[in-house]
Structure 1
Amino acid sequence: MKKILLASVALFGFAGTAFAADLPVRAAPPAPVIAAVPVFTWTGFYVGVNAGYGWHTNNESVFVPGVGLVDTGSDGGFVGGGQIGYNYQIGSFVIGVETDLQYADLGGNRNAFLVGTPGSVAFNNNSSDNYFGTVRARAGVAFDRALVYATGGFAYGDVGGSFGGGGSNGGWTLGGGVEYAFTNNLTAKVEGLYVNLERNNDRFVVGTPVDFVSNKNNEFAVVRAGLNYKFSSY
């Protein structure tokens, strides 16, 4: 009887082991997928607006026969407009190109008076409500979301550099700035430019010849702040 009981226990134990071996093995739960945080890059197209202050860095003079040079002064005022460009980042270096078009109110009326006829106006020049634009290369170094850059290239415009009606002129520009990306798409910048445009040579006759002295180009400086929207490149 005892042998029969031991044999029964052994048989049931073997059967239980075999049944457990046939049960499916429970798989471990999959590891959670964590999306990688995108690394910020300056690469991409952007558009933006800007506003600031500009001022002539040279005086404008006229020559009045019998009198000599008459200094008509230099002026400054509001500048503002828009820009569009493209950046490409290689490591910590950023290169790109940008073009902008600006409204420029760099002065008011300028009058020259002939000595001997007090109060009579030889000519009048209104140099406000003018414009200028630039097409520039940019190159700089990025410190994550901060960019320090230099810029320079072609400049054009009419900022009152020619008496008696003005006119569009070409020239060059140099400058630099600092830009910071406070989101992946919005950046803000502070920028300074020096612009040098060729000046037209005008001649007026008001009883006696009055020659505009154009021994200096039309030079002015601009300090402005800007806001850009950068299209995502990832």
Structure 2
Amino acid sequence: MTMHQKAALAGVAALCGAWLVLSPALAADMPSSRKLPPAPALPSFYSWTGIYLGVQGGYAWSQEKTILSDTLGRAFNGAAFRQSSDAALGGGHAGFNYQVGSLVFGIEGDIEALDSGETLVAPGISARITRDWQGSLRGRAGFALDRFMIYATGGAAFTEFSYHLAGAAAAAPESLDRSRTGWTAGAGVAFAYTDNVILGAEYRYSDFGKVGQTARGPLLGLTVRQEPTFHTLRASVAYKF
């Protein structure tokens, strides 16, 4: 083998060695024909925004102070009572929520039927005070954790008191009705069981201030004064559109 042939073989060997060294690096720089699998979709969070209609049921109780007084100076000259009452209730509600981030703002109204009453007896006179409906119109502000929400609520409360008065000397009993507006406030929790069905539980306190009514018929002069306050627990189910 001549010197030129040996030099040529040495050059070829050097080129092959350089190729073996550089080929992995070049391969790493070349685009791969294989694609990575797509990333999984992020879970979507529940939206509380929307109109809803529902029904509710619960239990109400109260501790009231009531005074019966007579301005005409008959044998009965007045008596004070502190009585309690309780009643089951049920009704319907409707509202609208608007969600901003984790905050939920809304307005809600409800109407409920109940059978609440107490009877007060004093010498020569008796009075029965009843309520058969109540309602409210309230604002709500809540904090949502996906399908779970806690909230506070407050606004105006409405009801009607019926007074049924009777006395031994009266020709006939007398009935009086008095509508009353007060305030109510409370808190609750809600859970979106499905995208449309919402379950809830709520506590509210309602105060109607001082309520007074004076008889104008057979028991003219008899006055009933009371300071009614009520506690209510409710469970509800609603459909969000």
The answer, yes or no, to whether TM exceeds 0.5 is yes
Q: Provide the residue aligned with 2:106 in structure 1.
A: 96
Check the 8 A contact 2:197/2:237 in 1, yes or no: yes
Q: Distance in 2 between matches of 1:198 and 1:165?
A: 18
Match among 212, 220, 223 for residue 224 of structure 2 = 212
Q: CA separation of 1:172/1:126 partners in 2, compared to 1, >3 Å: closer, same or farther?
A: closer
Higher strand fraction: Structure 1 or Structure 2? 2
- The residue aligned with 1:152 is 154
Q: Distance in 1 between matches of 2:156 and 2:221?
A: 35
1:179 is aligned to 190
Task: Provide Cα deviations, 1:55-95, integer angstroms capped at 9, x if missing partner.
Answer: 12323232366654331622110111000000011111100
1:113 equivalenced with 2:117 (yes/no): no
Seq. identity, %: 32
Alpha-carbon offset, residue 190 of structure 1 = 0.6
Q: Which has the larger radius of gyration?
A: 2
2:56 matches 1:50? yes
**How far 1:146 moved relative to its partner?**
0.6
Map 1:167-206 onto structure 2 (within 5 A).
167-204=178-215
Distance 2:141 2:69 in 1: 43
Gapped runs of 5+ residues in structure 2? 1-36, 166-174
What TM-score does the superposition give when structure 2 sets the normalisation length?
0.69
1:168 to partner: Cα distance:
1.3
In structure 1, C-alpha distance between the alignment counterparts of 2:136 and 2:62, rounded to whole Å: 17
Cα distance in 2 for partners of 1:153, 1:199 equals 18
Deviations 1:128-169 (A, max 9, x none): 5x1111110000100111100000011111155897423211
Please report the TM-score for the alignment, with normalisation by the length of structure 1: 0.71
**In structure 2, C-alpha distance between the alignment counterparts of 1:132 and 1:39, rounded to whole Å:** 36
Cα pair distance change 1:182/1:93, threshold 3 Å: same
Q: Look up the match of 2:28.
A: none
Pair 1:124 & 2:127 matched: yes
> 1:62, 1:72 within 8 Å by CA — same for their partners in 2?
no
Residue type at the aligned position of 2:225 = V
Task: Give aligned pairs, total.
Answer: 193
Once the two structures are TM-superposed, the CA of residue 104 in structure 1 deviates from its matched residue by 2.0
Q: 1:40 aligns with which of 29, 35, 46?
A: 46
Q: Is the 8 A contact 1:46 1:85 kept in 2?
A: yes
CA RMSD, Structure 1 to Structure 2 (Å): 3.0
2:233 counterpart residue number: 223
Indicate yes or no: 2:79 matched with 1:69. Answer: yes
8 Å CA contact 1:80, 1:102 repeated in 2: yes
